[in-house]
């Protein structure tokens, strides 16, 4: 695969489209020089969407559904989370997966200490525990719950704002039913894992979009639209405050339709657009 190309796994036209797997993605944002920056990772070429720049995220795991970890969620329970997603039960699992995947892929832990303070700086003892558990998680061990218990912390689920819902096009072999969220990054150091993520950076969304247009920053449609949405706001506080109460009533489910024409994927449905009302910018399908 050439540099700045994305590794797509196109499904066979003779097979039925695969069932999208539940997944969650989080845009970590911060303020810098009166601009919003987003943390992004470059996926390893061997992975699905390899070579693309993405946000931390991945599929929901069985351990994201354990009762003990659900009980560790601060400020948001399953009843309220499920209402936001128009689900009977289980909505909170998307928030949990977001926080776990964010930790695995960026090293940032969105959590509260038992005194109610958000975790910004970590102590030497906490750093050692966090580093040990991150290695185990990256090796496929299901130890996220154990880490939270040892740290005596709760998941900062109330710090995530729901912003969009994307379903991977049917032409892709691997498909995901992904909820996108935004969270303000605490004052912890972010770093890619070196496995699925081979590079990382904090970047101004407008710069990322400009580099994409120059062919220097490969990104897919959900990433493009997410960056456009963030770029419409002046600060992380404004971005989070105006999106904190989002739910299925104002978040459209977006499933782009593509066909293969002359060996290339061609979009055959309308592209989602940004709309602004009362100072709030959202993605809509016209």
Whether 190 contacts 39, CB under 8 Å? yes
The whole-number pLDDT of residue 1 equals 43
Q: 38-52, 56-70, 176-190, 200-214 — which is least confidently predicted?
A: 38-52
The whole-number pLDDT of residue 48 equals 67
- Residue 275 clears pLDDT 70, i.e. is over it: yes
- Cα separation of 67 and 16, whole Å? 35
The whole-number pLDDT of residue 4 equals 62
The whole-number pLDDT of residue 175 equals 92
How does pLDDT run across 124-144, given as a tens digit for each residue? 899 999 999 999 999 999 999
Query: How sure is the predictor about 257, in pLDDT bands with cuts at 50, 70 and 90?
Result: confident
User: SS3 of 275, please?
Assistant: strand
- Cα separation of 240 and 161, whole Å? 6
Domain limits, the chain = 21-284
- Residue 88 clears pLDDT 80, i.e. is over it: yes
The whole-number pLDDT of residue 195 equals 81
Q: 37-51, 70-84, 90-104, 222-236 — which is least confidently predicted?
A: 37-51
Q: 3-12, 21-30, 54-63, 102-111 — which is least confidently predicted?
A: 3-12
More confident residue, 74 or 10: 74
Select 21-284's CATH number: 3.30.70.260, 3.30.360.10, 3.40.640.10, 3.90.79.10: 3.90.79.10
- Residue 2 clears pLDDT 60, i.e. is over it: no
The whole-number pLDDT of residue 173 equals 85
- Residue 45 clears pLDDT 70, i.e. is over it: yes
Query: How sure is the predictor about 7, in pLDDT bands with cuts at 50, 70 and 90?
Result: low
- Residue 247 clears pLDDT 60, i.e. is over it: yes
Write down the H helix ranges in the chain.
Answer: 67-70, 78-85, 92-106, 124-138, 144-151, 205-213, 221-231, 236-243
More confident residue, 8 or 250: 250
Average pLDDT over residues 199-218: 95
The whole-number pLDDT of residue 11 equals 67
The whole-number pLDDT of residue 240 equals 96
Query: How sure is the predictor about 263, in pLDDT bands with cuts at 50, 70 and 90?
Result: low
Query: How sure is the predictor about 76, in pLDDT bands with cuts at 50, 70 and 90?
Result: very high
> Which DSSP string corresponds to 56-102?
SEEEPPGGGG-HHHHTTBSS--HHHHHHHHT-SS-THHHHHHHHHHH
Q: 20-34, 236-250, 268-282 — which is least confidently predicted?
A: 268-282
The whole-number pLDDT of residue 271 equals 84
The whole-number pLDDT of residue 265 equals 67
Query: How many Å separate Cα 245 from the centre of its chain?
Result: 18
């Amino acid at each position: 695969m050439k540099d700045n190309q994305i590794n797509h796994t196109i499904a066979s036209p003779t097979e039925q489209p695969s069932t999208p797997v539940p997944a969650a993605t989080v845009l970590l944002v911060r303020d810098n020089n009166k601009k919003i920056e987003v943390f992004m990772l470059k996926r390893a070429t061997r992975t699905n969407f390899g070579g693309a720049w993405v946000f931390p995220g991945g599929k929901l795991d069985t351990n994201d559904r354990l009762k003990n970890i659900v009980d560790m969620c601060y400020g948001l329970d399953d009843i309220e989370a499920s209402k936001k997603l128009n689900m009977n039960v289980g909505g909170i699992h998307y928030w949990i997966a977001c926080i776990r995947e964010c930790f695995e892929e960026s090293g940032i832990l969105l959590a509260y200490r038992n005194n109610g303070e958000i975790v910004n700086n970590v102590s030497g003892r906490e750093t050692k525990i966090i580093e040990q558990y991150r290695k185990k998680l990256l090796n496929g061990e299901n130890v996220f719950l154990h880490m939270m218990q040892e740290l005596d912390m709760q998941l900062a689920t109330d710090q995530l704002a729901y912003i969009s819902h994307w379903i991977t096009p049917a032409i892709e072999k691997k498909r995901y039913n992904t909820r996108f969220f935004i969270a303000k990054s605490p004052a912890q150091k972010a770093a890619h894992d070196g496995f699925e993520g081979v590079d990382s950076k904090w970047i101004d969304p407008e710069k990322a979009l400009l580099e994409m247009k120059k062919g220097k920053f490969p990104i897919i449609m959900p990433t493009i639209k997410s960056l456009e949405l963030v770029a419409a706001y002046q600060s992380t506080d404004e971005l989070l405050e105006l999106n904190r109460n989002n739910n299925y009533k104002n978040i459209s489910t977006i499933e782009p339709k593509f066909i293969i024409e002359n060996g290339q994927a061609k979009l055959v449905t309308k592209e989602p657009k940004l709309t602004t009302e009362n100072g709030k910018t959202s993605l809509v399908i016209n």
